[in-house]
Amino acid sequence: MSIIVNKNTKLIVQGITGRDGSFHAGKMKEYGTNVVGGVSPGKGGQKVEGIPVFNTVEEAVKATGANTSIIFVPAPLAADAILEASEAGIELVVAISEGIPTLDMVKVTTYLKKNGTKLIGSNCPGLISPDESLVGILPANIFLKGNVGLMSRSGTLTYEMVNQLTTSGLGQSTCVGIGGDPVAGLYYQELLQLFQEDPETKAIVLIGEIGGDAEEHAAQYIKENITKPVVAFIAGQSAPPDKRMGHAGAIISSGSGTAEEKIKAFENVGVPVARTPGEIPELLKKLMNIK
């Protein structure tokens, strides 16, 4: 799906001098993503993996024409880093950082919306269009270029799903990790629409989990707007109530946000829900009329 990341993506890495930032900057560059710079206040002038480091996003954008940023900044400072990117004219921000306070994300999503900046995450592994661009920490080696679009709140569960698809010969057009936080950027509805409009994508896999009601809204959106086949998986059927299951957004509160409700919502609109990750390829093949 070339709308979000593609060969025109010019990426800067905020937090590039940290352990994760430097490691993944190298990985993304290796994959062929056009990593044009990094930002780390006070470290301007240095180089990481051959990538020039700048003091501010504004400097980086002026020098490189960057249009995308990935955030590896620690949680207490991450929201500020996202705001800085948006203010400097970055078009897409991918926020990997986990642990950002929710009210910070409220401020961020409001500002970015007003500025017209797209956001993916926070607390996400990023996204990949196989053989085109990797903006994130997803392990490139498990992906295969193909026609299935994925969107997921999870990290390694997504990789598990992708692995199932790849080994069944079902390649992926774009895989987007939307993250595990309660307030985040692009979510199911926006991505469903983008996949619907993407000529490369023939079917969609949606991976959800307990907490909130985004899956229920997505089910309604699919009913009204999506004609391409969709298959879902919902994690957390065995989760106890009122407990945060790792992800900040994965919590059943006051009895709502359960996996059962979400599964029912999808089944009610004709979206099959796999009971185990292994069922996904079969369900897809059936819907896509592949043997």
Partner 1 sequence: MKIHEYQAKEIFSHYNIPVTKEVLCYSVGEVRAATEKLGLPVVVKAQVLTGGRGKAGGVKLARTLEDAKNAASQILGMDIKGYLVEKVLVAQGVKFSSEYYVGLTIDRNIKTVLFMVSSEGGVEIEEVAKDNPKAILKFPIDPDLSMTPFLARKIAFALFNDFSLVKQATVLFQKLYQIFLDTDASLVEINPLVLTDEGNLLALDGKMNFDDNALFRQKDINALLEPTEEEVKELEAKEKGLTYIRLEGSIGCMVNGAGLAMATMDMIKYYGGSPANFLDIGGSSNPQKVIDAMNLLLSDKNVKVVMINIFGGITRCDDVAHGLVAALDTIKVDIPIVVRLSGTNSKEGLEILKSANLPVVETMAEAAQMAISLC
Active site residues: 247
One residue of 207, 222, 226, 283 binding partner 1 per CB under 8 A: 207
Helix (H) or strand (E) holding 145: strand 145-152
Q: Which two tokens stand for residue 64?
A: 């490189």
Q: Based on CB atoms, which residue is closest to partner 1, 171 or 246?
A: 246
Stretch that binds partner 1, among 42-50, 83-91, 248-256, 261-269 (CB under 8 A): 248-256
276 makes contact with partner 1 (CB under 8 A) = yes
Nearest to 230 by CA among 286, 278, 190, 187: 286
Report the C-alpha gap between 188 and 207 in whole angstroms.
10
Site for partner 1 in 44-83 (CB under 8 A): 75-76
Q: Based on CB atoms, which residue is closest to partner 1, 3 or 103?
A: 103
Taking the complex as a whole, the smallest distance from the CB of residue 198 to partner 1 amounts, in Å, to 24
Q: Are 93 and 71 contacting, i.e. CB atoms less than 8 angstroms apart?
A: yes
User: Directed axis angle between helix 214-225 and helix 259-268, to 10°?
Assistant: 10
Q: Based on CB atoms, which residue is closest to partner 1, 212 or 272?
A: 212
Report the C-alpha gap between 265 and 219 in whole angstroms.
6
163 makes contact with partner 1 (CB under 8 A) = yes
Classify residue 179 as left (phi > 0), alpha (psi -120 to 50) or beta.
Answer: left
Q: Based on CB atoms, which residue is closest to partner 1, 199 or 224?
A: 224
241 makes contact with partner 1 (CB under 8 A) = no
Q: Taking CB under 8 A as the rule, which mask of x and - marks residues 164-203 in contact with partner 1?
A: ----------------x-xx--------------------
Phi, psi of 219 (to 5 degrees): -60, -45
Dump strand ranges (E) for the chain: 11-14, 35-39, 47-48, 51-54, 68-71, 92-95, 118-121, 126-129, 133-136, 145-152, 172-177, 203-209, 230-235
One residue of 19, 45, 238, 291 binding partner 1 per CB under 8 A: 238
Report the C-alpha gap between 218 and 115 in whole angstroms.
25
Rg of the Cα trace of the chain? 18
Q: Based on CB atoms, which residue is closest to partner 1, 61 or 151?
A: 151
Site for partner 1 in 100-159 (CB under 8 A): 100-107, 109-110, 114, 125, 137-139, 141-142, 152-159
DSSP letter assigned to residue 106: H
Taking the complex as a whole, the smallest distance from the CB of residue 287 to partner 1 amounts, in Å, to 21
Taking the complex as a whole, the smallest distance from the CB of residue 75 to partner 1 amounts, in Å, to 7
Nearest to 125 by CA among 175, 91, 166, 165: 175
Binding residues for partner 1, per CB under 8 A? 23-24, 27, 75-76, 99-107, 109-110, 114, 125, 137-139, 141-142, 152-160, 163, 180, 182-183, 207, 209-210, 212-214, 217, 233, 235-240, 243-250, 254-256, 259, 275-278
